[in-house]
Chain A
Amino acid sequence: MPIERTRREDPPDLIEGCRRGDRAALEQVLTAHAPYLERLLGRVVGPRAEVEDLLQMTLSAAITAFPQFRGEAQVRTWLARIAIRTAHDQLRRAEYRKRGELPSMEAVADDSNDGRRAEAHLDAKQRALRLHEHLNAIGARKRIAFILHVVEGHPIEDVAALMGASKTATKSRIFWARRELMRRAARDPWLKSLVAAEGVER
């Protein structure tokens, strides 16, 4: 994702239509922003089937809340905020927080203690799933802030605005997420191999 695209704001009459609950306007606006929201939710919660449900929850919440949309932020930002709140609620549920329970990770480690060889057996999606097992162990707020900043490349100010938090709190969340990830990298050979792949030359 090397090149960022900037979006022009949605036309005011379209937004007004959304506020009134006009189906055509809602459909047009949601169709324009849904792929972005889908990608965002996919990044935050990982490659799960629930992404579609989360997207639906986000869009339903947006449709309901549109009459209260004051237009102070861009529609995309506002929708992203709803998506992140939805993802956050979902991530806080017990089933998403399996601290220390990494069954597939253990299985792969049994096959081979060599992190690099294990990595070779996983395709991109499996590797992402495995990585998300680690990310799942990090608290929801920290994890979301980390992904938005480190992976998605949003500046701290934007992450703070999206999460409704202060800049200081956002920085702190990202810091602790990084610590947690480093701590887990020390324990998991596969995650460690990401470091080792570069570290050997030093």
Chain B
Amino acid sequence: MISPSCLRAGSLIAARAAGLSRANGLWLEEHVHACTTCTREAELLSGVRAILLDAELAPTSGASNRAIHKALHAHRRGTASPTSRAPVRPIVLGLSFATALALIAITAVMQREYAASDAVHATATATVPRVERRPAVVMSDADRLQAGARVRTTERLQVLLAHASVELAPDSDAQWNGAARELSLRSGVVIAEVDPEPHRSFAVITNDFRVEVLGTRFEVTPSSVSVSRGRVRIAALDGTERAVLNAGERYDLEAETAVLAPKPQKRSEARKAVGKATTAPSPAISAPDVAALLTEARDALATDRFEQARRAIDRALAAQPAGATRAEALTLRAELLSAQGNRAGAVAAYIEVATRFQSMPAGENALFAAARMNDDAAAAKKLLAQYLERYPHGRFVVEAKYRLKR
């Protein structure tokens, strides 16, 4: 028979992750110390939570993208039901065969059209009547387009080239070389999303540089590159490496030129140009603006737009906010470093928050986060011990104890 106290304790133990009030936390702590059964349950649930949070349960980051594309493709085809592999395999094979035949027919028709002139100006309106509903012109058989198919768009156009899905902004001019898997951009903007396939390259070439990629999403204009996901290498047309961009980073040809060859009298201009790609802190930012910047940073962080998040955080910190707002900004900076994979930097940033804002919830959270992220086991234990000493009734006491004993 379970006593009413134990029933209440059980509910509170289960609700710890969602957060307990101070009073409930203290009551639970007292009860758990006096009740062996509830102690066991508390430690079991804490262990279960720690194991599930520790394990990298989510598949690789590409899984989301693949799922989105499959879902969107299925929707466009009118087959919204998702992959249910075993039972529908014969149907899928049949459909694939029929699709392949259709693609060959479409490609043959397109090839005849391209052959009619040296440079075919395929406008979006000519090939895809309703871009919004059916944006992709399938040109997947790359080898058949290697003669130098050239595309000029009057409105947004999405095409499949080799293993990439490429979106051309209106008024873009590009030429596809299927054999080399290279898209030459003369003007406009290209957004390319490339499935990671080792041994199969994909490149976008402008008049000034070449962007090589294995698996990512990135945007190219004749003078800049922005990477949303993955990693790209930017080289001069003679092959010299200019930059390697990770997700969230941006390359600006104009800004780079200004940095490489600064003219003393125009240093401020060069700085301004670089500022376009880096940070432009505002001298006076009001409190509501700081709050808006932090919201922007949080949103950008949640959607992996790291560069935008970094800029917003820097601008918020440049306004020198105080108290909880500053703690939040510094915490976001730590989260950003963590999201970018800079664990050591994130730990240092969390420790800074924990040291400067000890009496705030942000300080408590940061101390525990620093312990969790620390790859050095001894340092992590030290931080956990510090956490338990500083916050004996804190939100993560049970997990901290569990980790210390592990």
Contact = CB atoms under 8 A, between A and B. Distances in A.
Interface of A: 1-3, 5-8, 20-24, 26-27, 30-32, 34-35, 37-39, 42-43, 46-47, 49, 51-53, 55-57, 59-64, 124-125, 127-128, 131, 146-147, 149-156, 171, 174-175, 178, 181-182, 185, 191, 194-195, 197-199, 202
A42 B57 CA distance: 5
Given A1-B53, A51-B58, A56-B83, A181 B64 contact: no
B59 A27 contact: no
Nearest to A22: B132
Given A149-B14, A178-B10, A194-B44, A131 B52 contact: yes
B83 A149 contact: no
Contacts of B63: 38, 51-52, 55
B75 A63 contact: yes
B112 to A, nearest CB: 28
30 contacts: A2-B365, A5-B301, A8-B295, A8-B299, A27-B72, A31-B65, A31-B303, A34-B64, A34-B67, A35-B64, A38-B63, A39-B57, A39-B58, A43-B52, A47-B57, A51-B57, A52-B59, A52-B63, A55-B64, A56-B74, A60-B74, A63-B72, A125-B56, A131-B48, A151-B53, A178-B45, A182-B40, A185-B40, A197-B406, A199-B40
Given A3-B365, A178-B14, A60 B75 contact: yes
Contacts of A57: 82-83
Given A38-B58, A55-B63, A154-B18, 13 more contacts: A5-B302, A23-B132, A23-B135, A56-B66, A59-B68, A64-B75, A150-B49, A182-B44, A194-B43, A194-B47, A197-B402, A198-B401, A199-B36
B81 interface: yes
B55 A125 contact: yes
A131 B67 CA distance: 27
A89 to B, nearest CB: 11
Contacts of A63: 71-72, 75, 80
A7 B52 CA distance: 24
A181 B51 CA distance: 14
Contacts, number: 203
A90 B303 CA distance: 28
A59 B67 contact: yes
Nearest to B405: A197
Contact of B52 (A30, A60, A128): A128
Contact of B55 (A124, A182, A191): A124
Nearest to B167: A24
Give 10 closest A-B pairs by Cβ, nearest first. Answer: A194-B47, A128-B55, A153-B17, A42-B57, A59-B71, A34-B64, A198-B43, A57-B82, A55-B67, A56-B67
Interface string B208-224: 00000000000000000
Contacts of B56: 47, 124-125
A76 B17 CA distance: 20
A20 B335 CA distance: 36
B82 A152 contact: no
Nearest to B75: A63
B70 A56 contact: yes
Interface in B63-113: 63-68, 70-72, 74-76, 80-85
